[in-house]
Amino acid sequence: MIDLRSDTITQPTLEMRRAMARAEVGDDVYGEDSTVNLLQEKVADLLGKEEALLVTSGTQGNQVSILTHCPPGSEAIVELNSHIFLNEAGAAAALAGVQLFPVPGVRGALTAAGIRAAIREEEEHHPSTSLICLENTHNFAGGAVIPLEKMQEVYQLAREQKIPVHLDGARLFNAVVATGVTDGEFAQRATTVMISFSKGLAAPIGSVIAGPRDWIAAARRWRRRLGGGMRQAGIIAAAALVALDAMVDRLVEDHTLAKLLAEKLAQLPGVELDPSMVETNMVIITLERMPAAHFVEEMRKRGVLILSINPHQVRFVTHKDVSRAGVEQAAVIARQILKQ
Ligand code: TLP
């Protein structure tokens, strides 16, 4: 099978498995796991934040962040196609009692004007706006990079309005590699940041949230309430440390393969795609003549796994466990299906 469903399917490397086996560990609920502490310090440093906290997943990181920033009954502004809005199983409502205000962006990027219109006036009838969420890279905008200037524009407005900004940076490293902008530069345009090691960086588990010291202390309590207080979690942190050191630069290879795939798919009949829009490791195509679910099934029968993200669009994701030959083969199979 050529598996292009997600970069989350990547297998941990041998170096990760070795680091996990050797990791020095302790009880992290007591703050005594030196490997977790090292990872948290490294991430805080990288992102230019006071402190950081290991969480089990990107979803837990985003939700702990919402719980920590937002009182129940308040409102968080999110992008219309953001992961927090579409793919976290309604957690903000179910767990935090937070109402999400989805605002459409341009290729995933919220504008200051769009946000300004969504911020509530302080008035008894309204929920109060307690958070603005950004996502970089933006998953359902096809892995689009949110340019630093766009983030700056939003952050400036948010500061004027005294509203914190949370960055879902599940794939922030893809944005870094694609642009040359540093993690710190992106992170400076947000109050708190979540990054993941379990996507293209191939670690088996783990995300980290970073932000101000007192905020992280409150987030620790929310993580505990959600059952995310882990014990000898250095086993997980060890793989994440390898991901940080050894797996970031190679993301460029995933981007090259996505570009190659996009150029091939764009030539196929009934496919709408502008390959110049593919900036990182994702390719989303719109199918004009076939339901997405049918296309996914036909691809699967011929050995290629992809995801349908809505009735008309499918997503291909490149990652370290797919080769150039695999990507070329996937394009050949897509051609066979679409030419029938
Ligand atoms: N995204 C997954 C699916 O849930 C769609 C994927 O295959 O892309 N933020 C963003 C931007 C994400 O893309 C994801 C995972 C998460 C958060 C959640 O991370 P996990 O899966 O670790 O909870």
> Domain 250-338 falls in which CATH fold?
Aspartate Aminotransferase, domain 1 (3.90.1150)
Whose structure tokens read 């090691």?
A: 197
pLDDT band, very low/low/confident/very high, at 54 (cuts 50, 70, 90): very high
Q: What is the pLDDT of residues 264-292, one digit of tens each?
A: 999 999 999 999 999 999 999 999 999 99
- List, chain by chain if needed, residues with CB within 6 Å of any ligand 1 atom: 6, 8, 57-59, 62, 83, 87, 135, 139, 168, 170, 196, 198, 207
Q: What is the pLDDT of residue 89?
A: 98
Q: What is the pLDDT of residue 190?
A: 98
Q: What is the pLDDT of residues 20-46, one digit of tens each?
A: 999 999 999 999 999 999 999 999 999
Per-position b or e across 277-300, b if 16+ CB within 10 A of its CB? ebbbbbbbbebeebebeebbebbe
The reply to whether domains 8-246 and 250-338 share a CATH topology is no
- Ligand 1 atom at minimum distance from 8 CA: 7
Q: What is the pLDDT of residues 287-338, one digit of tens each?
A: 999 999 999 999 999 999 999 999 999 999 999 999 999 999 999 999 999 9
* 7, 8, 201, best to mutate for ligand 1 pocket (most atoms within 8 Å of CB): 8
Average per-residue pLDDT for the chain: 98
CATH no. of 8-246: 3.40.640.10
* pTM (2 d.p.): 0.98
Contacts of 119 (CB under 8 A, 6+ apart): 77, 129, 161, 163
The residues that bridge with 88 in the sheet, in sequence order, are none
Q: What is the pLDDT of residues 100-116, one digit of tens each?
A: 999 999 999 999 999 99
Q: What is the pLDDT of residue 340?
A: 79
Helix extents (H) in the chain? 14-22, 34-47, 58-69, 83-86, 91, 112-118, 148-160, 172-179, 183-187, 213-225, 234-246, 251-265, 292-301, 324-339
Q: What is the pLDDT of residues 215-226, one digit of tens each?
A: 999 999 999 999
> If you measure from the C-alpha of residue 306 to the centroid of ligand 1, how many angstroms do you get, rounded to a whole number?
15
Q: Which two tokens stand for residue 234?
A: 């250095």
Domain spans, the chain: 8-246, 250-338
